[in-house]
Each structure stands twice: as structure tokens, then as C-alpha cells.
């Protein structure tokens, strides 16, 4: 009878090699240390893992559905827009508040309610598209045994974000936390987001341009900054170029670009009741501008937004003499609610501002009387991870396995049978 070979030495060697391989494949995420209690507006890049309603995506991140749409320059005037179904693989920029927690910047407002068959890995890698890791979920919720998750458990979901004082190269900026995809290169990301490789490397303290799938990098987006008083409810409002923001209890809508990086705010037809938006001692309403040519130049009178204070919309009347009269204001172009995803990157930031031609007419601002509600999330089927900078900056690191548990077990059992037989 032929002597049978003991398979276990080979089994052990294969397992050692496999686990060693998994241990060295890590993803990184840029972390911004902080020491104060202030916060900022930031963005996280999210790729839908399945078809979801606008309100379902908003619920997933605990954000305003209207704010989500306007951050991506999606027209909100469409009927029942909060129930519009967004396609799987669509990339969205999700607006979040970036806070200082335990000495680092993160967004901590998001919570997720567990459902049957949920696992931390599935919640992290699939449902939240790699913006958080299973280890981070476990630590944030003090979960002793991650293999046992009670149904209906409310989990804190810490999301990566950065503020960097709201500036990039001394200019206003909003920072997007971007999960690197399998085919991404730093050059490609820089080109898509109208920035440079050097700028991204400087922001993320990278020693070289090497990135891997699953890394989370901070991408600076040029923006329009506000100058509201600190006691204003929307103090620190900053809007990325080519997009919109909603504020003042859905009464005011502000935009940035495309002609310049000056914040421009107008009334938004979303709320039933709003305080007066007329500038004092004038018949001008918020967003109105009048011009009058003279031998000395052009007299420009404008009614601008000054913040939301104690439920009141503050307006400011300003008069200035300019060399020439400005043209009609151009708004960032709006897109219809998407029905298909194109390469997973439908909503990249707008390009650098181009000069505005005098008299140019831009698209109208979106108007709607529909105020989206927040619905509960549907049952999610089971599947990316964060963590840090690709440099010497502080990192959050976690392993990324290339194989599922069932695949690993199948390979190992197959090898054992081959050796035995």
C-alpha cells in the first residue's frame, strides 16, 4: 500500500504564507491631529453599493437629502426628488460636519442600525464603501465579540474627514475624503478633481505618489467661503466650487462658481415660512443687484446674505464703485437626478473658475416646494476600509484581505485533498 503523505506541514506552510500576505496588505488614511473643539464642513466620497433612494442615502449618513443633492449640483426641482432612485456604483460627495474627537478630525454624527446577517466587515466594506473599517467600528462601539451583533443595535460610524483650517495654499478649500479605487492613480485623481499631484501629496504629507486600493486620501477642492459672525447658526459655511448649499432652515440657497469664488446666496423656495429677505432701507431682496453706469465707473448696489441669527435671516446692503458693470450672475450648472452611473465618477468637482463674460446668462437656481423626508433604510444585502496617509504622517492602518473566508477555506481544503489523494 503506497505511503500517504501527511498534508498538514504543507497546509501550515500555505496558511502561514497566506496570512503573512494578508498582514502586509494594508490601507492607509490621512489623519489630521487637532486640539480644539471647533468643526468644519467637509465631504466624504461615497459609492453606492446598490440602488438606493435619495432619502435612503441621506439616512445612511444622517444628512439632509436636499443638502446631499445640492452638494452634487443635482436639480431639486424635480417632483418627489427625495424618492428618486439613485443607481448602484454612482459616486456622490456627501456633506458632513468634521469635528475634533480624541485629538483627531473625524465625523461622528453617523449611526447605523444593524439588521439580520450584518457583520462589521460587511457594514464597513460594503454598506459604507470602505470609508470605515471593521476594527474602527468595533473600537468605536466597544464590541467585545464582533462575531455576534444584535439586530437593531445602533452603531456609531466614525468617518474620515479633514479641515486644515479651510484653506489650501492660502485659498478657501473644502476637503474630500476619497477612497482610492483599484484603477486609481494619483495623477488621475488630481486631473479629475482639478488639482495637482504635488498639492495632494502636500495635503496628505506623502513621501511619494504611490497609492493603493482602499487608501483614503484628502483631496482639496477650491471653494467659496462665508464671512458670517461667529454667533450665526451657519458660521463657517463654505461651498465647494461648482456646487450649492442650503441654509437658514431651507430658506437660503448659496452657490459657488463657475465664474469666480465669491459666495452667492439667493432665496430658496423650500420652506413654507421664512423671515424677511429684504435689505433694510431698500427695495432689494436677497441676491438682487442693481448697476448704474457713470463717468467714474459703475455704481453697484447689492443685497447679500449675512448669516442666520436667532431664526432671522440677516441681509446686508452694500454699495460700491467698480471699473465696469458686472454681467448677469452665472450659476453652477445643474444636472437631472441621475438614472445611471458612468464609470463611478459622475460627480467630480468643477474645474477651476473661468472668467465670466459680461452679460452672460447662467442656468436658473433650482426651485421646489417639496421638502424631502427621511425614511428608514431598506434591508441591505451583504461588502472597503479606511485608514490614512501614504507618508510619515499619523496613520490608521488595517489589513485588507483579498479573499473571503469561504474562498480561503475552499482553497485550503482543495490543497489538502490534492495532497492526500
Return the bridge partners of 404, or none: none
Q: Which of 252, 260, 330 is nearest to 289 (CA)?
A: 330
Whether the per-residue pLDDT at 317 is higher than 70: the answer is: yes
Instruction: Say which range, 5-14, 25-34, 277-286, 316-325, has the weakest mean pLDDT.
Output: 5-14
Higher pLDDT among residues 334 and 345, named by residue: 334
In residues, how long is the chain?
421
Higher pLDDT among residues 18 and 295, named by residue: 295
pLDDT of residue 160: 97
Higher pLDDT among residues 404 and 156, named by residue: 156
Predicted confidence band of residue 141 (pLDDT cuts 50, 70, 90): very high
For strand 167-168 and strand 171-179, is the pairing parallel, antiparallel, or unpaired? antiparallel
Distance (Å, rounded) from C-alpha 271 to C-alpha 227? 24
- Rounded to the nearest angstrom, the gap between the alpha carbon of residue 135 and the centroid of all alpha carbons in its chain is 22
Mean pLDDT (whole number) for 189-212: 94
Summarised one tens digit per residue, pLDDT across range 40-77 is 999 999 999 999 999 999 999 999 999 999 999 999 99
Task: Report cis status (omega within 30 of 0) of the bond before 381.
Answer: no
For 419, the enclosing helix (H) or strand (E) is helix 405-420
Cell of 94: 456627501
Instruction: Say which range, 17-31, 78-92, 353-367, has the weakest mean pLDDT.
Output: 353-367
Count of CA atoms in the C-beta half-sphere (13 A) of 382:
5
Distance (Å, rounded) from C-alpha 300 to C-alpha 162? 38
Whether the per-residue pLDDT at 415 is higher than 60: the answer is: no
Mean pLDDT (whole number) for 104-119: 95
pLDDT of residue 55: 98
Q: What is the 3-state secondary structure (H, E, C) of 17-78?
A: HHHHHHHHCEEEEECCECCCCCCEEEEEEEECCCCEEHHHHHHHHCCCHHHHHHHCCECCCC
Distance (Å, rounded) from C-alpha 391 to C-alpha 86? 36
Average pLDDT, the chain: 80
Whether the per-residue pLDDT at 11 is higher than 90: the answer is: no
Predicted confidence band of residue 301 (pLDDT cuts 50, 70, 90): very high
Higher pLDDT among residues 388 and 78, named by residue: 78
What is the residue whose three cell numbers read 423671515?
Answer: 275
Q: Which of 104, 110, 146, 116 is nearest to 128 (CA)?
A: 110
Distance (Å, rounded) from C-alpha 52 to C-alpha 316? 41
Whether the per-residue pLDDT at 387 is higher than 80: the answer is: no
Predicted confidence band of residue 148 (pLDDT cuts 50, 70, 90): confident
Whether the per-residue pLDDT at 378 is higher than 60: the answer is: no
Predicted confidence band of residue 109 (pLDDT cuts 50, 70, 90): very high
Cell of 184: 486609481
Highest-scoring range by mean pLDDT, 176-185, 336-345, 358-367: 176-185
Higher pLDDT among residues 263 and 364, named by residue: 263
Return the bridge partners of 41, or none: 97
Return the bridge partners of 26, or none: 399
- The values of phi and psi at residue 9, to 5°, are -60, -40
∠ CA 107-139-387, rounded to 5°: 55
Distance (Å, rounded) from C-alpha 258 to C-alpha 278? 26
For 100, the enclosing helix (H) or strand (E) is strand 91-101
* CA atoms 405, 408, 410, 416: torsion sign: negative
Q: Could you give the dihedral angle defined by the CA atoms of residues 389, 390, 395 and 397, in that order, rounded to the nearest 10 degrees?
A: 120
Higher pLDDT among residues 379 and 313, named by residue: 313
pLDDT of residue 270: 77
Higher pLDDT among residues 295 and 90, named by residue: 90
Higher pLDDT among residues 416 and 273, named by residue: 273
pLDDT of residue 36: 86
For 335, the enclosing helix (H) or strand (E) is none
DSSP 347: -
Mean pLDDT (whole number) for 201-214: 95
At 392, is the secondary structure helix, strand, or coil? coil
DSSP 377: P
Distance (Å, rounded) from C-alpha 302 to C-alpha 316? 8
Whether the per-residue pLDDT at 14 is higher than 50: the answer is: no
Higher pLDDT among residues 16 and 221, named by residue: 221
- Rounded to the nearest angstrom, the gap between the alpha carbon of residue 370 and the centroid of all alpha carbons in its chain is 24
Higher pLDDT among residues 398 and 163, named by residue: 163
**31 and 40 in contact (C-beta within 8 Å)?**
no
Distance (Å, rounded) from C-alpha 243 to C-alpha 351? 11
Predicted confidence band of residue 342 (pLDDT cuts 50, 70, 90): low
Predicted confidence band of residue 28 (pLDDT cuts 50, 70, 90): confident
Predicted confidence band of residue 150 (pLDDT cuts 50, 70, 90): very high
Amino acid at each position: 500500500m503506497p505511503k500517504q503523505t501527511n498534508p498538514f506541514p504543507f497546509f501550515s506552510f500555505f496558511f502561514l504564507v497566506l496570512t503573512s500576505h494578508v498582514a502586509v496588505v494594508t490601507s492607509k488614511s490621512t489623519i489630521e491631529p487637532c486640539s480644539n473643539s471647533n468643526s468644519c464642513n467637509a465631504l466624504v466620497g461615497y459609492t453606492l453599493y446598490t440602488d438606493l433612494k435619495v432619502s435612503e442615502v441621506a439616512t445612511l449618513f444622517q444628512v439632509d437629502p436636499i443638502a446631499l443633492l445640492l452638494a452634487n449640483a443635482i436639480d431639486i426641482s424635480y417632483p418627489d426628488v427625495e424618492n428618486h432612485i439613485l443607481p448602484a456604483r454612482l459616486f456622490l460627495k456627501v456633506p458632513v460636519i468634521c469635528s475634533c474627537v480624541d485629538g483627531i478630525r473625524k465625523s461622528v454624527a453617523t449611526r447605523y442600525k444593524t439588521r439580520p446577517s450584518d457583520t462589521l466587515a460587511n457594514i464597513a466594506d460594503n454598506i459604507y464603501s470602505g470609508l470605515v473599517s471593521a476594527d474602527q467600528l468595533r473600537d468605536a462601539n466597544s464590541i467585545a465579540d464582533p462575531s455576534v451583533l444584535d439586530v437593531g443595535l445602533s452603531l456609531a460610524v466614525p468617518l474620515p474627514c479633514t479641515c486644515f483650517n479651510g484653506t489650501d495654499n492660502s485659498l478657501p478649500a473644502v476637503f474630500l475624503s476619497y477612497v482610492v479605487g483599484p484603477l486609481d492613480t494619483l495623477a488621475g485623481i488630481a486631473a479629475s478633481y482639478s488639482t495637482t499631484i504635488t498639492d495632494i501629496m502636500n495635503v496628505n504629507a506623502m513621501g511619494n505618489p504611490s497609492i493603493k486600493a482602499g487608501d483614503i486620501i484628502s483631496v482639496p477642492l477650491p471653494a467659496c467661503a462665508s464671512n458670517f459672525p461667529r454667533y450665526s447658526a451657519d458660521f463657517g459655511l463654505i461651498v465647494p466650487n461648482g456646487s450649492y448649499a442650503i441654509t437658514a432652515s431651507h430658506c437660503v440657497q448659496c452657490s459657488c462658481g463657475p465664474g469666480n469664488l465669491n459666495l452667492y446666496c439667493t432665496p430658496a423656495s423650500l420652506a413654507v415660512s421664512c423671515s424677511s429677505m429684504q435689505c433694510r432701507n431698500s427695495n432689494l431682496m436677497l441676491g438682487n443687484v442693481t448697476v448704474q453706469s457713470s463717468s467714474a465707473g459703475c455704481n453697484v448696489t447689492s443685497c447679500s446674505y449675512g448669516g442666520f441669527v436667532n431664526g432671522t435671516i440677516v441681509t446686508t446692503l452694500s454699495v460700491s464703485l467698480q471699473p465696469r458693470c458686472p454681467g448677469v450672475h452665472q450659476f453652477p450648472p445643474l444636472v437631472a437626478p441621475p438614472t445611471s452611473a458612468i464609470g463611478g465618477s459622475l460627480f467630480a468637482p468643477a474645474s477651476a473658475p473661468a472668467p465670466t463674460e459680461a452679460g452672460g446668462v447662467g442656468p436658473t437656481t433650482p426651485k421646489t416646494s417639496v421638502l424631502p423626508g427621511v425614511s428608514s433604510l431598506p434591508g441591505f444585502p451583504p461588502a472597503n476600509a479606511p485608514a490614512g496617509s501614504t507618508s510619515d504622517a499619523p496613520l490608521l492602518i488595517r489589513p485588507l484581505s483579498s479573499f473571503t473566508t469561504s474562498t480561503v477555506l475552499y482553497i485550503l481544503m482543495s490543497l489538502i485533498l490534492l495532497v492526500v489523494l
